[in-house]
Structure 1
Amino acid sequence: MEIRSDDGARVRIRPVGYQPGIDPPDDPDGATPGWHDWLLIEVDARTPDGQTWSHHYPSLMVEEARALGGWLHGQASAALGPDSPPATVRFTEPNLALRTRVIRRRRLELTVEFSAESLPPWMRRPVTAVYPLVLTVSADHLAVAAEQWAAHCEAYPPRIQSRFPAEGPLPYRRRAG
């Protein structure tokens, strides 16, 4: 998806694959949920004054990526009303976070917060560093970006499905003999 601001700033974010090289844990039943579902996220950003940077990092789990599309669409819909409260979405990996604030009807401020490996290369990198890229966009533009994001995510279903069919585990059967 691409989101362009009125002042020339922009951000392009898209999933480009599953995180390679993730070995299964010794005990998959005791593993942290989502260990197998990290997506590589490609980000290309430009500030209002024309500075650019990009990175490619496993920043979102599949479930988080899919939820982001819904969140963006919800924020676009909320901007249709005059009194929507600010909202923030954060993820397991702290590289990206997004905040919105309605500035007037059908217009909102979307702040994409970059941290850790996602920081622009010109920034110092203390653990707590955050670079906020502020984008002023229309609700319609954000709704289009949400649809683009959802379409990107369709290509990345969870890699490991449940061990059981949708109706639950199979009943235990005693073997004859």
Structure 2
Amino acid sequence: MRHGNLFVISGPSGAGKGTLVARLLQEVPDAWVSRSVTTRAPRGGEVDGVHYQFASDEEFQNLVDHEGLLEWATYAGNRYGTPRATVEEHMAHGEQVVLEIDVQGAFQVRDKMPAAHLVFVEPPSLEVLEERLRGRGTETDEVIAKRMDAAAVELSHKMEYDMRLVNDNLDEATAELVRYVNEQAEEARG
């Protein structure tokens, strides 16, 4: 059995984090993605425990007060966080736990679990990133401008990560991420 590890994947919106994580799950059988706990109400089709762990404000605050979250933040009036117990349980079973969270959350996790492996996914350029965001066809110019501003801030932290991965070629980026996860799992075991 391999040793359980924690991998935190961050990067700007449009860098391809979600696609890389989905491919990682297909390539690494013992990889598991953590589900966030949130105070927001479920949207149509969302199932508690599948898409998110839905919690009341009181339940969420109890987790905060008792160190039950590795990281948490507020977005659009709702709180989101990573449950510590679930992550630790999966790691104890030898799984490679993956969190797909923002830079702020990544540094909160590192403070609580210094052995976490932080991976920053970046686009080949800001121009490519903007093309990807526009190519989605789901956001207004104003939203894209905000995402581009946020990307500049996130990119300024990339050197604080253990691994930086330029997602220029999806197959190569996937192979590089899979190799890194497997190396860490084997190294920890040895």
Taking structure 2 as the reference length, the TM-score comes to: 0.27
Higher strand share: 1
Larger radius of gyration: 1
Q: Which has the higher contact order (CA 8 A, sep 6+)?
A: 2
TM-score normalised by structure 1 residue count = 0.28
Higher helix share: 2
